[in-house]
Amino acid sequence: MGLQGSISRFFKKSGKGIALGLSVATLAAACGSTASSTSSTSAPATTAGVVHLTFWSWVPGLQTSVNLWNSSHPNIQVKLDEVTSGAAGTYAKMFSALQAGNAPDLGQVEYPVIPNFEHVGGLVNLAQYGANSYKSQFVPWTWNQVSQGGGVYAIPQDTGPMGLFYRADLFTKYGLTVPTTWAEYLADAQKIHQQNPNAYIAAFPASDSAWFSALAWQAGAKWFGTQGNSWVVNLADPATQQVANLWQTMISQGLVKVEPDFSTGWYKDLSDGTILTWPTAVWGENTIATNAATTSGDWRVAPMPNWGSTTVDGNWGGSTTAVFKDTKYPAQAAQFAEWLNTNTASINNMIQTGGLYPASLAGQQLPAANSPVAFYGGQNIWQVFAQGSKAVNTSFLWGPVMSTTFTQLNDAFAKATTGSGTLTDAINTTQSSTVSAMKQQGFSVVGG
């Protein structure tokens, strides 16, 4: 299983390679000649008052939810196009389609990319179609990330509240207590390493700065904000420094293993006890169960260790349903986006076949997302995440060029973990490189 998972991961990654080969096709799409001719350009077949909408998404099994909608809404028929995940090429395709004026009516968009789509003017403000009345149904932080000023630019779908996955059997073996603070986490890391130099408390994935952003988020970082007509960028704020210092200490003392996450070697380390914990989002549940299947019954989940006495959580991942500007039926598209993410049957399907953890508060109470899991020794791990979800810091916002920022942070972390500089240097470098990248594109930036 582990090998299979990693191979499919490889293919997913190598899919990017193929994307370059197809760049000519992408360019052609930008001319508006090919590609999404199936979407809104040919869509307005409003025979007998039936509205047809096209929806691009990569959530597995979403068709079932769409079918539910189609059978209960005969006048608004949604056609689901199953696409590859956003970062694997769909965002590039969406941006090209927006430029060409033939984007689909609806699309799957992850939280960090929303500002990017907003700044190319690609999203419809759903506030004019009653979106604000749904605000109370969702986890608070998600609403902050989909709204800007008085506008609502997407409907939250799923989230990734963080928890600490740990090997309960090995914690007993090494005589450790589950850490409730990051100081205790560091102490545990030292104890593990003293007893077994080949065991580590965790891996530090230098190439996955999205993971780091979730930890910074938990620590109370506020990387981006707006002040009047300018962006405020603060990647190196004290909260982020604190996180960077902790992991730098553990890297310097050899207490964590620097290796990419979701890689073959990392799966092996999760399976054979080289790595004892993984502070990660709720969906990590499936990652461990699939790729470290032999450790069934050994893992448990605890709330994230905290920086102070108050419980705060971070979030990693999750996405939304957005309506693109090219739609001819914004009201109907908005109606579908709202239904998809608030209807009980639809949410239930997304939890069961899509493996999503809903952004809907009611959805989090559904039995599918609130029952004991055999792999985790019968622990109802969802309760940890439901609690965490409520405690996620609501003030964290994403910037307008997040993919650039993440790339810069990855490259800087890679440098720091190979001996040139520290993680703190890396976040300082990224602060200045992100600000200069934003300024180069013409954004107004203060605090850089």
Partner 1 sequence: MTTLDLPERQGESVGAGKGSVKRAKSRRGGSQGSRVAPILFLTPFMILFAIFFLLPIGYAIYQSLFHTEVSGLGLGPNSTVTKFVGLSNFSSVLSDHSFFSGLGRVVLFGIVQVPTMLLLATVLALLLDSASTRLKRFFRLSFFLPYGVPGVIAAILWSFLYLPGLSPIVSVLKSVGFGNVNFLGIHSVLWSIANIITWEYTGYNMLIIYAGLQAIPQSLFEAARIDGASELMVALRIKLPLIFSSIVLTAVFSIIGTLQLFSEPQVLRAVTTNISSSFTPNLLAYTKAFVENDPNMAAAVAVILALGTFILSFGFLKIVQRRAFSEVEL
Is 230 among the residues that bind partner 1 (CB under 8 A)?
yes
- Shortest CB 76 distance to partner 1, Å: 25
Neighbours of 304 (CB within 10 A): 26
Judged by CB under 8 A, the residue of 404, 422, 428, 432 near partner 1 is 404
Tokens describing residue 366: 């559904």
Closest CA to 155 of 352, 316, 319: 319
d(CA 119, CA 421): 34
Is 116 among the residues that bind partner 1 (CB under 8 A)?
yes
d(CA 56, CA 83): 6
Is 23 among the residues that bind partner 1 (CB under 8 A)?
yes
Judged by CB under 8 A, the residue of 19, 331, 366, 373 near partner 1 is 19
Long-range contacts of 269-273 (CB under 8 A, 24+ apart): 269/200, 269/203, 270/295, 271/2, 271/295, 273/167, 273/170, 273/199
Neighbours of 227 (CB within 10 A): 11
Fill in the per-residue mask, 197 to 226: x = in contact with partner 1 (CB under 8 A), - = not in contact. Answer: --------xxx------------------x
Is 293 among the residues that bind partner 1 (CB under 8 A)?
no
Binding to partner 1 (CB under 8 A) within 415-444 occurs at: 415, 417-419, 437, 440-444
Q: For partner 1, which stretch binds (CB under 8 A), given 52-60, 170-178, 187-195, 398-406?
A: 398-406
Judged by CB under 8 A, the residue of 104, 115, 303, 363 near partner 1 is 115
CB of 4 or CB of 418, closer to partner 1: 418
Residue with tokens 């730098």: 248
299 Cβ contact partners less than 8 Å away, ≥ 6 residues apart: 165, 166, 167, 168, 288, 375, 376, 377
Task: Determine the distance from the C-alpha atom of residue 41 to the mean position of all C-alpha atoms in its chain, rounded to a whole number.
Answer: 31
Judged by CB under 8 A, the residue of 108, 335, 410, 430 near partner 1 is 410
Judged by CB under 8 A, the residue of 32, 61, 68, 119 near partner 1 is 119
Task: Determine the distance from the C-alpha atom of residue 100 to the mean position of all C-alpha atoms in its chain, rounded to a whole number.
Answer: 27
User: Residue numbers of the site for partner 1 (CB under 8 A)?
Assistant: 7, 9-10, 13-14, 16-20, 23-24, 27, 30-31, 87, 89, 91-92, 95, 115-116, 118-121, 148, 205-207, 226, 229-231, 258-260, 262-265, 268-269, 325, 400-401, 403-404, 407, 410-411, 413-415, 417-419, 437, 440-444
